[in-house]
Each structure stands twice: as structure tokens, then as C-alpha cells.
Structure 1
């Protein structure tokens, strides 16, 4: 699919690259901290005037058209002491001024201020980014999923309790169309083990949600969204941060972050680790089959085979601030995940013994950063090679009912609860190389080149699995599967009118190659030749941000993007999803228009509208067995959406925020192989209207001197939607389908409206000490809530969380 670029659009792009005329007098320089590290985003203004700018990535600034005479330069950056420098200007005599800022003394409040600074800097970019300050909520019993779901336009859904599989929906895109990163690196090499459903909020500095055009330095083929988790590790100084949470259903979550830096700040090391465990034995409503009458009886039971446990340990060490390197970081990761399978993709019948494991014994990574050519060229190179294993076990010679009663199989029955017996081991090998080159052309223009090359190799075994026909049968799962992918991006980021206007023009290239052995569908024999598939495509996008005034910003972006199928979508995961070798890449035309208003950080409001037209959209559906899911292409999908968000802080202590999202995505016309009744039907299993509301209050000196108390309430609403496609004429009537009753309300396909409330308290005995106690009640009114594929999630749960951070002697 091609973009039709009009002449007007070309004129706009050309105008954005025309630089303003140089003034007769200019003032330039560099802003840094006491360790000579550049400060990016510092405000540099001529006092008592509106003339000023922001520092760039190197801490450099340039102010043109500076008036003549005795002047004062004001420099400010949140978290640092402001500074004023007096100077005088003469005609045709440019000046250069270097300035160092002193950091304010750090305490808990300063940590929050620092987070807000990063938030504001990212929000100032041309690309639409929503920043979730996880450190601001680190004392609460909030998971990354909880925090992200409180944002507009995005909904992360789980197929059960802690550790269950997740699906991200962002502005109409879902699943792997929305990519997950850690510190800007794609997470493919960790086999999904470092995901939003696992990582504690304590281990993260923030979460960045990208909407619309993705920046080139992320290097991804995501269609229109990404979640980038920024770790809290590798900070300056010597510090350890810990947390421990205990909750209902025998849930335990612990985390530790250790950062060490020598006095010269050229050697560093640390640990990032967390442990998750839960029985997930919450109550669920199921249909129990009476053994005598064989009738289905609705009952409420406790899930009995739903345990999840996981450990993740990351040890890192490195060198920085040397002549030959700015930073060289070596990381080694070890992880193991164990998940019991209480049910398949639907809660139709129980499974009492099957489980899955994911293991990574030794996963090394190396990252190199260096500024060259007088610090105008920034090099960032990442490399990793990983070997991981997935194990799926389902060999029970019998079955369980929902009450936990076990029945041995008859002599003519084969083992396996979810169908055929399964003892699959998948060995996966991944290589990832990500190269980012950023060249600062001048104070107005930066050129970025990013290239990510990924290789994927899979072999497996399953003695219970299917074999090829012939004299020398071969296990199908043992057939090697190779998948190579290359994604590159080139962007030109420009600033004009004293940074009030920013533009990001991007070109992207996508290429993939898959190969493997296939089996003849008629004879069942293994074909002697390998089957190969190649995909190659280009993309183009542009983002514009205009700073109308100090309070008002507007953005517009448009992109034609391609998403290559992931290895998991093509090959399956060996347990809950099955292979589809015929998948085609997704292609989509995306447009976003937004307006944001903020008044002195006390009041803010924003609106964003988006449009998507996708071809061959990859969607997940229930397979014929209802145990597994399978990925498929939808011919054409089009839709639009609206996001509204607002926040208000008053009387210094109180804060209220809210947002809502409406999105309407439908298949465009007739889908091949379907009845005409489903023409223009809504894309299933995706909420199309949801909203959030929250309120918090902060007080000091309540129970004792210097203490701090925070009380909060969160509310979320999801409008009814359907598990599968339904005819358009059976949808609810009324405005946007939000009113009236649907024609298929009383069916298993119907997912009713959901209301969930969360309340909590966080107490710091001494606000100057980094120790806190948090208590929280989720799903306060014990409502029945559903999630991905209408899986019932936990009811009311109670949580207690302790956090403690302290400085270590150097």
C-alpha cells in the first residue's frame, strides 16, 4: 500500500528545512554538571526577555539575535540549583559561555521532581510519547500493567492472574504490532521473559508509551506503538533499593536493585533482580459437568492448578568516561519461569497437571557508547547471543474436574488432558545486533541511523508429537526453523523558531527471510527441499510538533508502516499457540493529531485523534480445539479513535486525573471465507470504549513528625464487547454503539461491562528516610471481571508492600 503525498504536504516538509537567518550577535555555550556531564533540556534565557532556548543532547545551546548591552543569562533545570551569569554584548562580537549547575540535595521528593523532568523532556518531542513515572508509584502495590492501563489509548489484558500471558492493545493495534523494549532494545532475545506482566515497577525508572510514528532510534517494525521500559539500574552513586509485597492468593513479589560506582565515576556495577510467586487460587465461575446426569451446572470454585513462579537476575559491570569509551557495559542474565495451566484459551474445562517452563541459564549482552568527531557523532552499539528453552508437559493418564477430582483414563484413551500428550522441548537461539548512529549536524538538525539485525533458530523434540510418514519418520517439531529479520530507520530531526517547531522525517526499510523443512499435506512425507519466504518493504513517516505558547502544544504525524510477523506468530510457542507458516506482513497507514494544554503543572488537558487503515492485519483467534490460539491475517481493517485526558492539582495536597478512549476498528468490507453477515463487523476481543479516573491526597506530619501519608483511589471502566465477530446489525444501537442493548447479549460471546475500584495508603514514617509501608485493596467491591478471551480474573485482593532504599558507603 502506498501513501499519496500531495504537493501541499511536500511544501510543508521543504519549509521545515529552511533555517532562519543568522543574527549579527549570538551567544552560545555548554551547560553541564560538576562532573562535566552535559545537561540535556536545560532552559537558557536572557533575563527579562522572551529570548531563549533549550540545550541539546551535548548540553550545548545557541541563542541568536541577542540584543546589545549589559545582560544576564538565566539557566534552569529541574533537580539543579538555578544560575545567573552576567555578560555584555557588542556588535559583531559573538560570545561563548560555559556554565556548570549544582545538583540539589537528593531526597524522596527530589526523585519525583527528577522523574517529572524526564517526562516533560519526552513530551516535548515531535513523536507522541506518554511517560508513566513508575518511581512515583514505587511505594504502591501497582504492577506495570496497572500503571499502563491507567493511561488513555492503551489496554494491557491478561489471561488470568499473575504471570499469565498478556496482550497489549494500543490505538487499535494489538499483540506483537505493539513492541516491548528495555532501555531501547527489543526484547526478542529474552523470549518474552522480561515483559509488562512480570517486571515490578520498582525496578524501572519510567515506562514510555509511543503512539503513532516510532522514533528511528528504537529500530522496530511496530506498526504504530511501543512500550519502552527504562530500568532504574546503572545510576550514579552507591545505592540499594529493595521491595517486598505479600498479597492474597499466596502472592509474593520481591525486587532488589544494587548500583555501585567508584569515586572517579569510571567503573560501575550492579544487580537487577526480582522474584514472582502466586498460587493464583482465586474464585472463578465455571460450568461443572455433573458425572451422573452430564448436565452443566454453574458453580463457583477455587482454581487449584494455577501456580506461577519466576526469578530474573541481571548482573552488570562496566567502564565509562574513558578516552576510548563513554560507556561499555557487560550484562549477564539468568531466568526461569514455571507456569501451571489451569485451562486453555477459554475456561471451558479444567487442566490439573500440565505446565510450561522457560529457562535461560546464561544470556550475555554487550553495549558500547562513544561520542566521536568533537562529540557530534554518537555511537551506540548493542549485541547479544542467547540460548533459551521452552518446555511443555502434558502427559497425565487421566483428567480432573473443576472440583479437583481425578479420573483415570480407560485403556483405549491416550494420555494428555488438553488433547494429545505433549512433552515438547523447544531450543531457541537468538542473535541481536542493534547499531545506532546519531550525528548532530548543527543546533537545529540531527541525523539518526538505526539498524537492527535479528536471527532466530529453533529446534525441538516431542516423543508424543506427530511424525512424518515413510520409512524414516521424523518428529515434526524437530524440523529446524530459521528466521532472519533486518529493520533499519533513517530520521532527520529538526528544530526551528527557537525550538517551538520540531519536525521528524523518517524512512524505514524492512526485510525478512524464513526457511525450514515442510511436510507434503497429501502424502505426509518430508519434502527434501527447504521452503523459503522473503519479505522486503519500505516505510515513510513524518511527525510535527508546534509549541503554540508556553501552555499549548499541537502534534501531527503520518506514517506508512510495515510489521513483519514474529517468530512466535509463525512457529507458535509449542503449547498455547500453534504455527501458521502462511502469515503475511501487516501494512498500515497511520495518522495522529493531538492538542495538549498545561497550566503551571496544576491543570492539564489533552485530546488525540487517530486513524488507521491496515492490510493483512495479524490477529489472534481461538483454534478449532479451543485449547490453543492461532494467528491469522485479516484482509483489510480500518478505524479511528479518540483519546481525552485531564489532570488537576489543587490545595497543594490533592490530585485528580481522568481519561477515556473510544476506538472503532472494523474489517473493511467482506472477509474471504466468511458469511456476508459479518461484513464490516467490529474486530473482536478488543474493548472499544474504556475510561479511568483517579484521586490522591498527600499529607505530612500526620502520625508523627516528618512523616508522610498518601491516600489514593483508582477506578476503571470497560464497556461491553464481544469475544468473536458478530453481525453489525446485532450490535447495540445508539450513539457510537455506547447505548442500547446488543442483540446477542445473552450468549457466551458477550463480555459485560466492568467496573473496578482500587484504594490504598502509603506511609513514610520519616519523609527524609527512604522506607515506606503500603496497603492496598484491589477490586474493592469484588466484581466479576474478565480479560483476554473472556478469562475471569481475580476478585477482591489485599496487598501489603514494604520498600526500602539506602545509600552505601563508597
Structure 2
């Protein structure tokens, strides 16, 4: 009897979730007092192998939740059991010390990746942009206040060299109204930042890294907030989901509204009709209102036999934006406008163990419609910073100094992202990704209806294929090798010759191939070494080639850029006693990029355009320290140094052809090279009432002075610079009934410093914000 009992091989499967329906990845599931166990995957699923018949007790634990035990009678027909764990706030400190939370699991990947949780930020008035600006190696350069254009820099790579994803779906053409500034913190669960080497499963042609914004995936929740602040800033966010656990039917959505007059003071030159500077004084921005609204809704089914997730999703967004300045503050506008609207329709499908154990499939397909309009129709006058109209002596040119325009773009885009993953066994796994994009633009200017360039097609086809193999030698060491193929076709037009009004058809075809490796080794359980290398390509985006119709001019011959990226990381975390937790990270960065796409700016011109820089190299290092004491005090400090230099031997221009590059070895202008952040927070529990929390946070930001132009030319005393700057912000939040009701106040730029970013465009001074939040 004992012999047949021991030989019976019963497999028990199940799922572990929280009370809100969130999948708990990393939970420990085992037979009590027996040597059989498993760890749940990203979908909360576990498999117990070789379970004998008879009575057993299954024990499930996940730090931060109450341990649960169930006694069961195992029979040959039994194959599944599910667990719902209850939240245990008193265990939260232990989660941060030893638990393999989702954040920690992402951070321990062999790639150079930083995962940031927003759990402690839900009561602040921040958005995706401000969260990312505190990550080591990241600088976000912004033209002005809420809704203004921004440029993202990650270890020296800027703008579109870093790709953005929303729940793994590319955001390349989501439109101006759905961007980092318009995604409030309450819509975000965490943000994963991949530096340099990007995993195959993201399916992208990123050159310098990728950012994946993960929204809340809980089955049932409601989160609503309203904030009001300086410059008549209003922000509303409503997020929620409802799921029928029996049928699997789910409906989820969020609605975000943003408004600001952006009428903050700036230090500006007041000019007369001849352009002479009369005085330099503080004035209010007078033509910079921004408003946007975004709705994101999805419905479908979860946890069915044919699909773990099958969702139809619609994102609708729109904005209108008064444009105050060009690329620099030397130009000021009083009537230039830009408005847009977008509709993104998507199908999302995901299934684990499709047809066979270990075969996972996901599909994201979307059709995007994006319409934008740029208006510059005021003639005869221009504005100065006092808001005064000055005669321009032109009845044909608008405020930008070019012929008046009322230019409309109609963009349509189809994207498809397909992933297959197969786990051959515990040591070997494979993954394949195919990402396809088709983009088409139609443009029409009602003020210049006969312009020949508008009658030529503007389309882009892009296809990226990736294949990866991962070898898990043991729990200490794993390695991934991968290859990628990039295919690009662009149809556009170009001027037959300089200053010619005659346009001819222009087509570009590019095929490129990349490869890479990522490896990780745990010297000790709490000491990890990571190294990754990638030879990669990034193909230009539509707006870089075709322009944006307002401040970015087209460049139809813009080529792909390529880079060799290397990262080396050291991660060390440890505890001192029972209450002190330290996490230390250091990263060395090497980038050698060719044909780098960069934004060319002239101090005297309001317009920019994108060009290829022959060769640039980045050598950098970043360090990060996080300290936590008893869940009452936390401190985070990070510093980044990046030396990005021009390495081309020769440069080319249309007038003299190839000539020696006198800037070789010089640091790239208008690019921060030394910057850092610090965050300190205090938490007090049960203040005045039970189940309450009082949080105080302090934020510090520092940027070293850097040049707007090339450092080799001119007298150092007379060079245009972005000055050294530092800023301080504070935040106080009070929560009742375990975060059900929340109120917070915030002061940004507490000491009212002069802060600058792109091309010395001044950012807001001291600002105050009040936020009310309800969470269920």
C-alpha cells in the first residue's frame, strides 16, 4: 500500500491573489512539513509536482500578507486550488527587507534596470515626468510649465533614443495630449527603466534604453483625486476597475484632466520694434494656457481557459496649447496655437501555457488616429515680453517670421506586437518578438493650399524582429543572448535644390542587424553583479523626418543611428540589526554611437530640426543609496556623471563637403553632465486617530552648470550657459482609515530659484499645490 502511494504522481496547480484581485508574484507555496514547494509567477500561478495521495496541508506565505494554510485531501482527480491572501500592514517592513516583491524581481534582472514603485507617492501631485526625473541617470528637460514640450535624457541618450511603453505597448504615436506630463501618479503602479540594453520582449529599436509605465492591474478598485495649485493649475484623476470573479468579465478605465494658465514669472529681455533690449525684468507669461483630457477604457475577460487576458481598449485624448515661445526665450508669441486629438483602439491578448506547458503568447494590436493643427496666422505685428504688440511691417509672415500657416496633420498608424516565450526546462528558455509599425501622414495648410510638398506621400514602415535564448545555470547565475533585425522604409519628398519651391519624391530603405548579451551573478545572496552589451539601431520617428508643423522643420534624409552599449552594475543590500535596511547600487556606462540623431538649435531661430551627428561617445557612472529605518524614515540619494563627447574625425556640410572636425573630443553642448537628487521622508502612524498616517517628504535636485554651445569656441566668460542650479521641494500628507481618505499639500521650488532647462527656457518658480484623494 505504501509503495503504490509513493509512486502516485499528482500535480496540483493554483493561483495566489490579494483581496483586490492583484496577482502575487513571488509567493511561497508548499506542503507543510514536506519537501515540496513552488514560487508563484507573474500571474500568481504555482505548480506543485509529485504530490502523494492523502491528506496534506498547503501553506502560502507572501511578505506583507497574512500566512494562509489549507488542509486538503489529495485524490487523482484533484488538480487545482486557489488562495486569496489578506493584507497584513505590520509585515510591510519585512517585505522591503527580504521579500521578492515585483519591484525587487525586476531590479534583479540581468539587464541594467531600475524599477520604481509609486506606492508611497499616491498622495502627491506628481506625474510620470516628475517620478522619472528622480531616477539615477535620468534628466527631463522641459520647455516650461505643465503641458510644455519635454526632452528625456537617459545616460546621455536623449528624446526618442529612449522608447516609451504603456503596459508593454509602444507609445510612439499616442499624441501630444497623452504624454509623461499628462499621466498622473494615481494611474501608475510602477515604472521600469531599462538603461542601454533593452529586452527582446519589448520589441523596439530603442538606442539608449526603454521606459515601461505599468498601470494598476487590480481586479477591483477605485481611486479618485483632485489637485489645485499655483498658476491656476487643476488636475483631476479617476481610476477604477470592476471584475466578476466568477465569469472573468472586467471593465477598467481612467479619466485624467489637466489645466494650467502657466502664467508664472520669468526673467526676460523687453525689446523695442528694432529688437533693442530696453530692460531685463520679471514679467508674467501671458500666452501659455494648457488643457488636456484623456480617457482610457478597456473591457474583456480574465483568467479563462482560452485567455489569461483578452481586452478591447480605447484611449481618447485631446489638448489645446497656447504657444508662448519658440526654441529659445529670444522669441515670444501672443497668438500661436497648437491643438491635437488622438484615438487609440487596441486589442490585447495574453495566454500562458497555450497548447503546451511553458508556451506563453501575447499580442498587442492597435490602430491609432492622431489629428493636430498648428496655427500661426497673425500678421502685421509681433509681441514682446510685456505682451505689447509691435508692428512687423509684414502682411504675409506670421509671428514665427515665416509665411502664415494653419497647418493640419492627419496621422494614421497601425502597430502590431507579437511575443512568444517557451520554457524548455528549468535551465533553458527562448523568446521571440515581432513589432510592426505602419505610419501615414496627410497634411494640408489652408493658408498655403498649393504648396507642392503637401501632395507627396509621407509614410513610414518599420519592422523589428528579435530572438533571445536564456540559460539559467543555477539560482546564482543566468545569461541571455539575443539578436535583432530592423527594417525601415520611408516615403517622403524633398526640395529639388535649396530655396527651391519644386519638390521631388524621396524614398529611404534601411536594413540593420543587432545583437547583445546580458548576464547576472550573485556573489552573495545580497550582492549581485550584472553586465550587458548590445549593438543596436534606432530608426528615426515620423516627427523627426517630417517635422511637427510648428517648431520642428523636416529632414527627409535623416538616417538611422547605431550604438554599442555596455553596462556594468553592482547591487548590494543588507540589514543592520532588525530595523536598518541599506540598498547600494553603482553603474558604469559606456556608449559609442554613430549617426546620432540630435536636435540642432540656433540661439537666433525659433525653429529646430533633427540632424545626424557622425559619432559620439558616453562614459559615465552613477551611484544610488537607499536607507530605510522601521518604515518610519527613508533616505534616497543618487548622483550621475556622464561625459558625452563628439568623436567624429570629419564632418560634412552642403557648402564645403567633408572637413576636419574641430570639435572632436569636446563635450556635447546643451547636455547636463553632472546632476543628482535626494529624497528624505518621515512617516508617523496613528496620528490623532487609529489607522491614520502622517507623511513628510523633502526633495532636492541639483544640476551642474553646462554650456549651451560648443565648449572649445569663444571666451569662457562670455559663453551662453545653463547655470548651476538646485531646488528644494516639500510635501505633507495625511491619510485616514488606512489610506481611504487623503489630503496633501506641496511646495515646489521652495526657495524660488531661477531654474532653466532646454536652451535656457525658464521653468516655474515657487508653487503650491493641494490634493484631495479617495481610495477604495
Tell me whether the two structures share a fold, i.e. TM-score over 0.5. yes
Residue among 693, 700, 712 paired with 2:697: 712
Is structure 2 residue 461 aligned with structure 1 residue 484?
A: yes
Q: CA deviation at 1:575?
A: 0.8
Is structure 2 residue 568 aligned with structure 1 residue 593?
A: yes
Q: Deviations over 1:296-337 (max 9, x none)?
A: 421110000011110001121112233333221111221111
- Counterparts in 2 of 1:26 and 1:124: CA distance versus 1, 3 Å: farther
Structure 1 residue aligned with 2:731: 760
Structure 2 residue aligned with 1:770: 740
Structure 1 residue aligned with 2:760: 790
* Bigger strand fraction: 2
Q: CA deviation at 1:101?
A: 4.1
Is structure 2 residue 161 aligned with structure 1 residue 174?
A: no
Any idea what SS the aligned residue of 1:626 has? coil
CA contact (8 A) 1:434 1:452 kept: yes
Counterpart CA distance in 1 for 2:325 and 2:453 is 25
Residue among 650, 655, 665 paired with 2:634: 655
Counterpart CA distance in 2 for 1:516 and 1:481 is 5
Structure 1 residue aligned with 2:322: 340
Structure 1 residue aligned with 2:682: 697
Pairs within 5 Å for 1:53-92: 54-56=39-41, 59-60=45-46, 76-82=61-67
Residue among 189, 194, 201 paired with 2:185: 201
Q: CA deviation at 1:702?
A: 2.5
Counterpart CA distance in 2 for 1:37 and 1:198 is 25
Residue among 333, 351, 355 paired with 1:370: 351
Counterpart CA distance in 2 for 1:122 and 1:430 is 31
CA contact (8 A) 1:539 1:562 kept: yes
- Greater shift after overlay, 702-711 or 717-726? 702-711
Counterpart CA distance in 2 for 1:547 and 1:84 is 32
Counterpart CA distance in 1 for 2:182 and 2:17 is 38
Structure 1 residue aligned with 2:508: 533
TM-score normalised to structure 1 length: 0.86
- Counterparts in 2 of 1:253 and 1:184: CA distance versus 1, 3 Å: same
Counterpart CA distance in 1 for 2:94 and 2:219 is 17
- Counterparts in 2 of 1:590 and 1:413: CA distance versus 1, 3 Å: same
Is structure 2 residue 403 aligned with structure 1 residue 433?
A: no
CA contact (8 A) 1:45 1:53 kept: yes
Any idea what SS the aligned residue of 2:759 has? helix
- Counterparts in 2 of 1:677 and 1:605: CA distance versus 1, 3 Å: same
Structure 2 residue aligned with 1:514: 490
Residue among 301, 311, 316 paired with 1:329: 311
Pairs within 5 Å for 1:440-519: 440-465=423-448, 474-497=451-474, 499-519=475-495
CA contact (8 A) 1:132 1:207 kept: yes
Counterpart CA distance in 1 for 2:499 and 2:323 is 35
Structure 2 residue aligned with 1:740: none
Counterpart CA distance in 2 for 1:780 and 1:533 is 51
Any idea what SS the aligned residue of 1:451 has? strand
CA contact (8 A) 1:43 1:75 kept: yes
Structure 2 residue aligned with 1:801: 771
Pairs within 5 Å for 1:270-349: 270-290=252-272, 294-349=276-331
Counterpart CA distance in 1 for 2:675 and 2:330 is 27
Counterpart CA distance in 2 for 1:787 and 1:124 is 33
Q: Deviations over 1:418-477 (max 9, x none)?
A: 112121001101000111111121122221111110001011111444x8xxxxx54423
Q: CA deviation at 1:192?
A: 4.4
Counterpart CA distance in 1 for 2:405 and 2:226 is 36
Counterpart CA distance in 2 for 1:533 and 1:301 is 47
Q: CA deviation at 1:48?
A: 11
Residue among 552, 555, 572 paired with 1:577: 552
Counterpart CA distance in 2 for 1:492 and 1:183 is 23
Structure 2 residue aligned with 1:646: 625
Residue among 115, 118, 121 paired with 1:137: 121
Residue among 708, 713, 716 paired with 1:744: 716
Counterpart CA distance in 2 for 1:186 and 1:541 is 21
- Greater shift after overlay, 223-232 or 374-383? 374-383
Counterpart CA distance in 1 for 2:489 and 2:94 is 46
Counterpart CA distance in 2 for 1:623 and 1:384 is 38
- Counterparts in 2 of 1:492 and 1:265: CA distance versus 1, 3 Å: farther
Q: How many residues align?
A: 744
Any idea what SS the aligned residue of 2:421 has? strand
TM-score normalised to structure 2 length: 0.89
Question: What is the RMSD computed on CA atoms of the aligned residues?
Answer: 3.3
CA contact (8 A) 2:587 2:622 kept: yes
**Contiguous gaps of at least 5 residues in structure 2:** 1-6, 73-77, 653-658
- Counterparts in 2 of 1:86 and 1:104: CA distance versus 1, 3 Å: closer
Any idea what SS the aligned residue of 1:190 has? coil
Any idea what SS the aligned residue of 2:303 has? strand
Counterpart CA distance in 1 for 2:131 and 2:493 is 44
Q: CA deviation at 1:197?
A: 2.0
Structure 2 residue aligned with 1:735: none
